[in-house]
Each structure stands twice: as C-alpha cells, then as structure tokens.
Structure 1
C-alpha cells in the first residue's frame, strides 16, 4: 500500500474540490423530492401530490431541470471545456447555479419555480461533465477509481444535507415560508465555495499540452506527482496527443468516424442511460411518493429519505476501497444483480401484505402498511442503495471518464453523462402516472432492467482497472499511441541513418 505523500494529498484535495460539483447535483436533484414532503411548499405552489391532474405538473418540475441540463451539457459545456479549460467550465456552472438558487428561493408560484429549475439545470449541465474529466486527468491510474468514487459519494452528501435540512424545517412551522425557502437558499453556498476554490487547483495537464502550453503543463504535473514522475508523464501525454494529431482528424468527427471511439461511445451511453433506469431515478426524485404509500406521517417519510442518503455515503465508501482492487466491470455486474433482487423483494412484500385504511376526522382516507412491513420495505430499499451506490452509482462515472482519448474526451464524456439526464428526464415524466396506475408492480419492470444491464456488462465491457489513460485505445481494439509513436520515431531515425550511409 502506497504511503500518503504530500503530492498525493494535494491530488486528493484537488479532486475533492472538483467533486463539489456532484455535491451540488445531489443537493439540487433531491430538493424537489424533499420539498414535496413540506405542506407549506405544496400549498404555496398550489400542488397536491395525490391529485391526478397535478401529476404532469409535478413531473414538469423535475423534467424541466433535466431538459436544461441536457441542453447545456451537450451544447455549452463541451465548448467551454475544450476551449477555455476544465476549471472554467466548473466555475461558470457554479455561478449559474447560484443565480438559480436565488430565483427558486423567491418564487411565488410554480411557474417561477420551474423557471429557476431551468436555470439550475443549465448550471449543472455546464459544470458536471467537466468534473470527472478533470479528476481523471490529474489522478494517477493506481488511485483513479478511488478518487472518482468521491464523485458519487459527494452526490449522497449533497442529498443528505437536503434531506436533513427538510426534516429540520418541516418540524419548525414557525418558519413560515422559510420552511422551504431556507432549503433552496442553502443551494447557493457550496457552488460559491467551489467557484472560489477551483482556481486554486492546477488545470488539467492534458488540456494544457493539447493547447501547446507545455511549460504550464509541466508545472501542473509537478503539483500532483513526485519529481521523478513529472518528465515521464509529460512525455507520455505529449506522445499520445502527437499520435492523435498525426493519425486522426483530431476533431469531433472522430466520435463517429473512428471505430474504437464509436464503440466506446455506444458502451458509455448504454451504461449511463442504464444508471437511471435501474430504479435510482425513481427513488431519488420520487421516494417521497413511494414511502407515502407505506407511512402516513410526512415527518417519517422525510426521516427515511435522510437515512437513505446517510447510508448512501457509507455504501459509496465500498467503491473507494474496492474499485481499484475488484475492478469496474465486476462491481457493475454484482451491483446489477443485487439491485434486481432487492426490487423483486420490495415489490413482492408490498403486494402480498394487507393494507391499513385510516379514516381521518374530516372523512378523508389514507392507506398505509403495518410498522413491520414498513420497516422491512425500508431495509430492502436500503440494501438496494447498498448495491447501487458503489456499483451503478460511482463506477459508471469512473468507467465513462477514463475510456476516451484526449482529443474527444470532454465532449464524449459530456454526451455519455447526459444520457443519464435523458434517462432521468424520461423517468421524471413517466414515473408519476406509471406509479399511480401500476403501484409497486412497476418495481418488476426495473428489476428486469437491472438483470439485462448486468448481462450486457458481463458480455461486452472490458476491464479498465489500472490502465493508464494513454493506453485505453489498445484495450478497446485500437493502437497503443505511446508505443506506435516511439516505433515511428525509431523508424524515422533509422531511415535517416540509412540515407547517410548510402550517401
């Protein structure tokens, strides 16, 4: 086990700074889910969780955010990331999120709130794709999986802060409108910290070399590597980029022209789309709706949400310790099977146990389950999170950020990770009416999805554990750029010598 040197510690600090983007995402993505459990917010927005006519509008709050994220992720983030740098994209996204937080906080109706969600999605779409790219490019291969596991863990931390904030304010009715406004205002704090801190981090040395800034790249590498490693890594980066410039169009056309890159795009899009249809999107955006079928106390539902995210942090640590030992594909396969089994158990328990019907004083009725059944369902869903967080949560981000060549990495990662948002967008619109009509039978659908995803990974995905970024092409059937460039240069030297001898 390698000792924690000063340079290694700095690498972790820079990576965690970038991972604050995922904290912001976890906080923002969980806000509306938790706000649905605060009656004051639902009244102010004139929404009813149980009214069929409000389901499309409730779905629109989430889907508008996702649509904006997709747009910014595909058309704005790649431009900033490729031309201005990874740090610039993170900084810009954080500033936009701060503006969006203020718009949401001072919304007086659901239409204005949706407007704030759209601005929020734009900020997230700009910042998120740059984060894992930056982290993978400054991290040595032996700890890359461990470092990127923090990315997913920060999502759980952000969601955790949202959940406990909602739990605290929901129990403080004296706050009035600030029961929910204080939560949306807190959204501005972390992006402010990230926007300030990111420029204390070095820029990606791979981006600097690509832009012809070799000396700046050397200084950036020196901040995260031991002195004896600097020249070797710089030379490998230069060799890989020089090979790309000589043998590819060195443009986005490579995404569909170059066979090995096209293959990686397809594989990356599949696992990123699959991440959200494992059942994760449903539980993240609408766990309040799900648990309201089991418990009749809003406070209990918010507490369960908070506990889910608390355990999510602990479960993600599994990836931190295992991703660079067990491997990416093994974790995805085990997680997919485990998630499917948990959804099977949850649906079967709910469907086969009796309902408890409660009649309130005003004549309204509510349906819930016994305390034992509720506890059993919570345990099963916690176990779903146990499999999801280190597997299809963290490992998908790790795999996606490390498989693409430098020439297209920023755009390719942006496209792949935005298939998560496309999937989430579909789920945001489909799930509310689907769950209203199918109830827990819907869980069987996602159970099947998980088993299919596990099979696809087992059959088609190569293992990337411990492979340097400059050697990923060889793993996917392409050339080893460093070796080929070395051979070409050797052949050129030999040819020149032969010419001289002939003369």
Structure 2
C-alpha cells in the first residue's frame, strides 16, 4: 500500500493541549464520567473501612462467615442484575441518560444504606447500589472513549479504571476521620455512608451540561449536532468544516454503517463463533477473573481479618494502614498506565504476575510463621509485603483490565465482549467475597496456599494468551488473533474502519505538491491514514448539508 498523503497527524492540534480551548473544555467535561470509576472505588471499598469501625461492628452484631460474605457480595449481586440491561438503555437513550439513571439509583441506595436499621436492610441497600453502578459503569467508559480527543483516547481509557483508587482513598480516610470524631457511635459509619452520595449527586445534576457521544447522535440521525460537538471540543476554531471534524465524522458514519450490516446476523454467540474470537474471549474472561482472584480480594474486602491474623488489632493502626495502602495503590496504577506504551502490554502483564507470585509466597510464609510460632518479626514483615504485592498487582491489572479488553476486540463484538468482561468481574467478586471469609475462618493461613497455586496458573496463562498489541492498529491486532483464517468480513474490511470519501480539506501550513484533479477526496482508514480519490465538484454541491460534513460512503 502506498504511503498515504494525509494522516490524522496532519489534522491534530500541535502544542500543549491546554492551549487549545476546545480540548481544555473537553477534558474538564470528561472529569464527570471519570467520577464513575472513583464512585466504584468508593462504594466497593467502603465496607473495608466500615468493618474496622467498632461502631459498625456493634450495630450489626459483629457479622461473620456467610453473613459477612453476603454483605460484601451484595453490591456485586446488584451489578450482575443491572449489567444485562444497561447496554440497551445506553444505546436507546444515550450515554448521558444512562449515567443519569445510574446516579439516581445509586442515590436511592445510599439513602437506604445510611438509614439501615438491620443487616437485611443494609444488604438491600448494597444491592441497589450495585444496580446503579452497573448503569454508570456501562455509560461512562463509552462516553469517555467516544468524546476524547483522538490522541488522548488511549490514556483516558487507561486512567478510567486507575481512578478507582481515588474513591478507595476517600473511603479509607473518611472512615479514619469518622472514627476519630465519633468513636464507637453509629454516626462513625453513617457519615461515611452518606459521603457516597456526593459524586452521584454531582453527576445527576451536571450530566446534562456535558456533550453527548457524537457516535450516539449520528446513530439517531442527529449528524449536525454531532458535528457541532466535535467542532467545539476537537477543533480549536469551532468550525464544523474543520479538517479534523470532517475526518472524524467520516469515520463515525462508516463505523455505524458497518455496525448495522454486521448486527443483522450477530448475537452473544458471535463472541465464540470463530477460533480468533474464542481466543479473545478466553483472554478477556481470564484477565477479568485474575483481576479479582489474585489474592487482592483478601485485602480489598477483608483487611480487618488479614491484619488480625498477624497480630495488628489497633483500630487506628488498621485504618492508617488501609488509607496509606490506597494512596500507594493509586501511585502504582498510574505508573503502570504511563508505561504500557513504552514497555508493551505483554511485558507489563508478565512483570505483574511474576512479582505477585513471588511476593504473595513470602506473604504466605510470614503469616504462617506468626500463626504457628507467634513470630513478631514475621508479623511486622507482612505489612510491607502487602504494599509490595499491590504494586505488582496495580502495575497491570488496574490500568489494563478495561484498556486491553477494548483493544483486542474488533468493532462488531466490542460492546458485547466488554459487557461479558464486566459480568465476569462482578460474578467473581460475588463468589470470591462469599467464599473468602468462610475459608479464612475454616483453614486460616493455609487458605493463602490456594492463591499461591492459582498465581502459578495465572503466570502460565499470561505467557500463553497475552499477545503484544503495542504500536498496532485495531485491524493489525485482529490479524494477530485471526491470522489467515479470519472471517471474510474482517479480511474484506481490513479492520475496524473502512473506506470513506470526503472533500479534501485545505490545511494551513507547509504547501504540498499540486495535484492534477481539481477536487479530491480522502479515503480514511483508522490508524493508517488516507489516500486520494477524485470526485467532481457537481457531485459535491448536490449533497445535503449533513453529507457535506462527511461525504457519502464509496460503494
């Protein structure tokens, strides 16, 4: 294939992004859907801090075993209920509407949880929170990926899951502050529970002031609105005839055309219909399970039991360790997110899994020494080992769970595959949280040996199934999975984005050689640039206002 004359690099903003008013406003707007990740971290981690508080334990009569497992898994059960329905709402009414609905449901859950009078009411509130989170977590990543500036989309996707720890940090330190102020009073846990309402309230009030997804608008025939959004937030001059706006509109129109063609004969079974798709789904389901079954669930939801097991019983010491761990987790996850493009996805996963296996083995040893011989030095060594373990876990699984899943899925199965990933995560959370307290009570430190064996299996899986996708376009990634036996539609299309034609933009800057044809069109191809095709002026003038933005598909 000849070297393209025009590429996306010819159209993007040069210089610091904050010097571009449109991109600056866009990134401010994206903070609102990014809050969904923080809300997830806050709601998921709140129980970790509450279980340390004497006020919560006394009020609910020190729940243990299956009851504690049900309390911790209730949010995951709610999410499992909501996930199958959330994509339908998102596609029918828009990403903003789905985010709004999720926020309202979460506010109802927060109100019920804060007013809980017994364990059953508390569990019901957690289920409601899970349903709301399912809608919020479906809409927010889609809105971020479909609104982000083209050169910032990858980092924004990686940051989404990383910001889970913002909520986790807030949860840990609010619980510590509540304990310092209220001691063993019921308000020591009701106040942190009420804080969970802040982010959903902001989202519910402000979501209508941020732009809707251009892809959703085009799918509903509102192409002028989509072009105006792209012009305002992607083009510095706000001109919907800007070359970048035309470039993006052409890709959106054609991607939606392909979606309509492909969806005529696709279903969830398509995810497993070909060898390439089956390998994708095995990889996605695998890393989704590993994100919860790598031993991290022991600390994420049962830090109180884990620290008791090594002789740390002071409430304030536990809260301080929990709070410090969340800050450390955020720094570790950000480090991984910033390095995935430098050292590659496969290396990130391998480093993470080797580090977790070595460290968790040492953690198991120190816990066993303390429990069998009362070795105080072993107990002291456990705390830094927990921090080191989380560095390796966060290095890959926090930033890459969402980013890698979306990266390896071709367009026609991306939405369904992402839903399966989320469903798997919550299913493993619900199962894992129900089993962990029972197993810890039954066999104590020996339960850690189960995770050591599982981490060995994870490492083997990563070596076999994780492939390197750094520096490759989506269509090149598809070739890596499907090879020469790819379905004919993928072979014909050459990847996610197919060929569109639109009027050639006039680009300021260094001049390019004159062309023979007076009016030329650009064939756009995601990740690989453009090629020239000619078209007469009369054909261009005859098109509608909508088609002037992104010219009709070449047949």
Measured against the shorter chain, the TM-score band is 0.7 to 0.9
Q: Distance in 1 between matches of 2:348 and 2:204?
A: 33
Q: Distance in 1 between matches of 2:415 and 2:45?
A: 26
Per the TM alignment, residue 4 of structure 1 is displaced from its structure 2 partner at its CA by 2.1
Partner of residue 252, structure 1? 267
Residue deviations 1:348-398 (CA, integer Å, cap 9, x gap)? 122134668xxxxxxxxxxx763x433321111111111112311121111
Contact 1:65 1:118 in 2 (8 A): yes
3-state SS of 1:276 partner: coil
Alignment partner of 1:27 out of 28, 37, 42: 42
Partner of residue 187, structure 1? 196
Contact 1:141 1:467 in 2 (8 A): no
Q: Does 1:111 align with 2:111?
A: no
Contact 2:72 2:433 in 1 (8 A): yes
Relative to structure 1, is the Cα distance of residues 273 and 22 closer, same or farther in structure 2, using a 3 angstrom cutoff? same
Q: Which structure 2 residue ranges, 5 or more long, are not aligned?
A: 1-13, 236-241, 483-489, 502-522, 525-532, 535-555
Q: Distance in 1 between matches of 2:55 and 2:497?
A: 64
Relative to structure 1, is the Cα distance of residues 369 and 185 closer, same or farther in structure 2, using a 3 angstrom cutoff? farther
3-state SS of 2:470 partner: coil
Q: Which moved more, 1:93-102 or 1:15-24?
A: 15-24
Q: Which moved more, 1:65-74 or 1:325-334?
A: 325-334
Per the TM alignment, residue 192 of structure 1 is displaced from its structure 2 partner at its CA by 0.9
Alignment partner of 1:287 out of 303, 324, 334: 303
Relative to structure 1, is the Cα distance of residues 78 and 484 closer, same or farther in structure 2, using a 3 angstrom cutoff? closer
Per the TM alignment, residue 405 of structure 1 is displaced from its structure 2 partner at its CA by 4.2
Relative to structure 1, is the Cα distance of residues 212 and 334 closer, same or farther in structure 2, using a 3 angstrom cutoff? farther
Q: Does 1:60 align with 2:76?
A: no
Q: Which moved more, 1:10-19 or 1:295-304?
A: 10-19
Partner of residue 309, structure 1? 326
Contact 1:41 1:180 in 2 (8 A): yes
Relative to structure 1, is the Cα distance of residues 338 and 304 closer, same or farther in structure 2, using a 3 angstrom cutoff? same
Partner of residue 156, structure 2? 147
Partner of residue 275, structure 1? 291
Q: Distance in 2 between matches of 1:472 and 1:223?
A: 32
Give the TM-score normalised by the residue count of structure 1. 0.86
Q: Which moved more, 1:3-12 or 1:32-41?
A: 3-12
Work out the number of aligned pairs and report it: 473
Partner of residue 72, structure 1? 82
Contact 2:65 2:441 in 1 (8 A): no
3-state SS of 1:203 partner: coil
Q: Does 1:3 align with 2:16?
A: yes
Q: Distance in 2 between matches of 1:212 and 1:36?
A: 50
Per the TM alignment, residue 260 of structure 1 is displaced from its structure 2 partner at its CA by 4.6
Relative to structure 1, is the Cα distance of residues 353 and 280 closer, same or farther in structure 2, using a 3 angstrom cutoff? closer
Q: What is the CA RMSD across the aligned residues, in angstroms?
A: 2.8
Q: Distance in 1 between matches of 2:113 and 2:221?
A: 42
Structure of greater Rg = 2
Contact 1:239 1:482 in 2 (8 A): no
Contact 1:243 1:485 in 2 (8 A): no
Relative to structure 1, is the Cα distance of residues 273 and 483 closer, same or farther in structure 2, using a 3 angstrom cutoff? closer
Q: Distance in 1 between matches of 2:469 and 2:232?
A: 26
Q: Which structure 1 residue ranges, 5 or more long, are not aligned?
A: 49-53, 357-367, 495-503
Partner of residue 352, structure 1? 369
Per the TM alignment, residue 308 of structure 1 is displaced from its structure 2 partner at its CA by 0.6
Q: Which moved more, 1:432-441 or 1:447-456?
A: 447-456
More helix by share: 1
Q: Distance in 2 between matches of 1:333 and 1:149?
A: 18
Q: Which moved more, 1:239-248 or 1:384-393?
A: 239-248
- Mapping of residues 202-217 of structure 1, within 5 Å: 202-217=211-226
Per the TM alignment, residue 73 of structure 1 is displaced from its structure 2 partner at its CA by 1.0
Per the TM alignment, residue 272 of structure 1 is displaced from its structure 2 partner at its CA by 1.0
Per the TM alignment, residue 291 of structure 1 is displaced from its structure 2 partner at its CA by 0.9
Partner of residue 43, structure 1? 58
Partner of residue 540, structure 2? none
Relative to structure 1, is the Cα distance of residues 387 and 115 closer, same or farther in structure 2, using a 3 angstrom cutoff? same
Q: Distance in 2 between matches of 1:140 and 1:422?
A: 33
